[in-house]
């Protein structure tokens, strides 16, 4: 089959395997996705065992309060079950919490995950960008951020920590200084911690322990990436804002988490051996892969804290679309980041997969730049 070079206004996201199948004629099962940010170890053994031996849970409605599930999440996160709300992936919770806070002026980072902007728009609010810059490694300047919060009369701040796609992370101390400012100025803060469990030290980066002290804070997480279960659709929110929680409980559809996800969630968070295995694989591969990437002239590697890394191509006449095209022909899919506000066609992102797959991609990238 003759392959055409994709005119790269066609962009492929982490879940666009159907589109790839059509355009490149490659079967989706053969593609290694370096773009979906899903841990490569597959689902945890405890969850697999529980699901396969208890399929009949689908014969009953789940507990409307999801009491056991919320307790399992609370124990895993070291928080109180009364602060936990579950949702159909973090996506449902992003939508519910934005709609319920009904922001007039919201501030998000640029670049960041696109779903926040979409939801702010749908809820009728105005979305402002706080632009991060490549020349300081996309670091967040806290003084400039707080100035912006006041200048733009922001009522909702959304941070992704670690941030997708930059893979930069704010420590709990830095987050606390932002929260102190927000709390005293009546600003709501949503922190999306979808990738927090991949950081070198979850305790040092997660804001969950700050929840009891800052009622302005909502932390969101899900099992799609760390627990390799995007099809399960299970996410959770942690907040001490009782008013907000009861408002959402009253307005949200019941049972948006099915019985299988309810059951899976009650066991997966206790699989400590699996959790340790994921952390150690990502830690080792993050260090190893980045070392090899840094040795490639003409490629800038932005220090990653999550299970993926952002890179910039600094060679004239070379861009991410060309690298995407070269990689997909070898059945490897990277993320061309040119659609993220604040990035250009020189940027791409890849997540850390199994060592042998990472080696195959590294060899391809080295050859692309040779
Ligand atoms: C930062 C971030 N938040 C949330 C999501 C969606 O997660 P979920 O599958 O839990 O809805 C993604 C998916 O890519 C993401 O990158």
User: What's the pLDDT tens digit per position in 127-146?
Assistant: 999 999 999 999 999 999 99
Distance 14 CA to ligand 1 centre (A): 11
Token pair listed for 293: 């990437």
d(CA 41, CA 22) in angstroms, rounded, equals 27
Peptide bond into 114 cis (omega under 30): no
For residue 11, is pLDDT > 80? no
For residue 5, is pLDDT > 70? no
- Which residues touch 242 (CB under 8 Å, ≥6 apart)? none
User: Mean of the pLDDT values across residues 303-313?
Assistant: 98
Can you give the pLDDT at residue 2?
39
Asked if residue 350 has its Cβ within 6 Å of ligand 1, the reply is: no
For residue 350, which phi and psi values (nearest 5 degrees)?
Answer: -140, 150
For residue 8, is pLDDT > 60? no
Structural element, H or E, at residue 47: helix 45-53
Asked if residue 302 has its Cβ within 6 Å of ligand 1, the reply is: no
pTM value is: 0.95
Ligand 1 atom 7 nearest Cα: 90
User: Mean of the pLDDT values across residues 293-320?
Assistant: 97
pLDDT band at 47 (very low <50, low <70, confident <90, very high): very high
- Could you identify the atom of ligand 1 that is nearest to the CA of residue 91? 11
Can you give the pLDDT at residue 15?
59
Can you give the pLDDT at residue 23?
87
* From the candidate CATH numbers 3.90.1150.10, 1.25.40.10, 3.30.450.40, 2.40.340.10, the one assigned to the domain spanning 17-42+273-369: 3.90.1150.10
Which residues is 127 bridged to in the sheet? 106
For residue 104, is pLDDT > 80? yes
Can you give the pLDDT at residue 300?
98
Can you give the pLDDT at residue 21?
86
- Could you identify the atom of ligand 1 that is nearest to the CA of residue 160? 1
Asked if residue 192 has its Cβ within 6 Å of ligand 1, the reply is: yes
- Which residues touch 20 (CB under 8 Å, ≥6 apart)? 12, 26, 28, 31, 328, 333
Asked if residue 114 has its Cβ within 6 Å of ligand 1, the reply is: no
Can you give the pLDDT at residue 123?
94
Residues 13-34: pLDDT tens digits?
A: 555 788 888 888 899 899 999 9
Asked if residue 227 has its Cβ within 6 Å of ligand 1, the reply is: no
The residue whose CB lies within 8 Å of the most ligand 1 atoms, and thus the one to mutate among 98, 113, 191, 234, is: 113
d(CA 193, CA 261) in angstroms, rounded, equals 20
User: Mean of the pLDDT values across residues 110-118?
Assistant: 96
- Could you identify the atom of ligand 1 that is nearest to the CA of residue 92? 11
Residues 161-212: pLDDT tens digits?
A: 999 999 999 999 999 999 999 999 999 999 999 999 999 999 999 999 999 9
Can you give the pLDDT at residue 22?
85
Distance 297 CA to ligand 1 centre (A): 32
d(CA 145, CA 296) in angstroms, rounded, equals 34
Q: Which of 183-187, 269-273, 315-319 shows the lowest per-residue confidence on average (mean pLDDT)?
A: 315-319
Give the residue extent of every domain in the chain.
17-42+273-369, 45-271
CATH architecture of the domain 45-271 equals 3-Layer(aba) Sandwich (3.40)
Distance 89 CA to ligand 1 centre (A): 8
For residue 7, is pLDDT > 60? no
Asked if residue 222 has its Cβ within 6 Å of ligand 1, the reply is: yes
Token pair listed for 334: 């990277």
Average pLDDT, the chain: 95
- Which CA distances in Å does 274 have to 43, 229, 269? 9, 14, 9
Can you give the pLDDT at residue 91?
97
């Amino acid at each position: 089959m003759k392959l055409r070079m994709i005119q790269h206004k066609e962009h492929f996201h982490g879940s666009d395997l159907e589109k790839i199948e059509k355009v490149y004629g490659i079967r989706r099962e053969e593609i290694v996705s370096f773009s979906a940010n899903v841990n490569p170890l597959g689902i945890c053994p405890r969850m697999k065992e529980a699901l396969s031996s208890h399929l009949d849970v689908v014969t009953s409605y789940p507990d409307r309060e999801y009491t056991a599930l919320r307790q399992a999440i609370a124990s895993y996160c070291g928080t109180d079950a009364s602060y936990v709300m579950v949702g159909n992936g973090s996506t449902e919770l992003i939508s519910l919490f934005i709609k319920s806070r009904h922001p007039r002026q919201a501030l998000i980072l640029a670049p960041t995950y696109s779903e926040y902007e979409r939801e702010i728009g749908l809820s009728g609010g105005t979305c402002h960008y706080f632009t991060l810059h490549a020349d300081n490694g996309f670091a967040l300047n806290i003084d400039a951020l707080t100035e912006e919060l006041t200048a733009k009369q922001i009522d909702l701040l959304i941070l992704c920590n670690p941030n997708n796609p930059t893979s930069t992370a704010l420590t709990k101390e830095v987050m606390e200084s932002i929260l102190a400012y927000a709390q005293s100025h009546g600003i709501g803060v949503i922190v999306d911690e979808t990738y927090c469990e991949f950081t070198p030290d979850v305790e040092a980066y997660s804001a969950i322990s700050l929840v009891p002290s800052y009622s302005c804070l909502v932390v969101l997480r899900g099992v799609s990436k760390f627990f390799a279960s995007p099809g399960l659709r299970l996410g959770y929110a942690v907040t001490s804002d009782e008013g907000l929680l009861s408002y959402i409980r009253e307005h949200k559809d019941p049972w948006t988490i099915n019985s299988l996800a309810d059951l899976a969630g009650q066991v997966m968070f206790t699989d400590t051996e699996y959790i340790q295995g994921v952390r150690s694989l990502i830690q080792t591969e993050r260090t190893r892969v980045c070392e090899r990437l840094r040795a490639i002239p003409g490629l800038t590697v932005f220090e990653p804290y999550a299970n993926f890394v952002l890179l910039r191509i600094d060679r004239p006449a070379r861009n991410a679309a060309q690298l995407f095209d070269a990689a997909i022909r070898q059945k490897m899919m990277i993320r061309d980041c040119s659609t993220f506000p604040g990035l250009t066609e020189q940027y791409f992102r890849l997540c850390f997969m199994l060592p042998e797959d990472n080696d195959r991609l590294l060899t391809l990238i080295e050859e692309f730049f040779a």
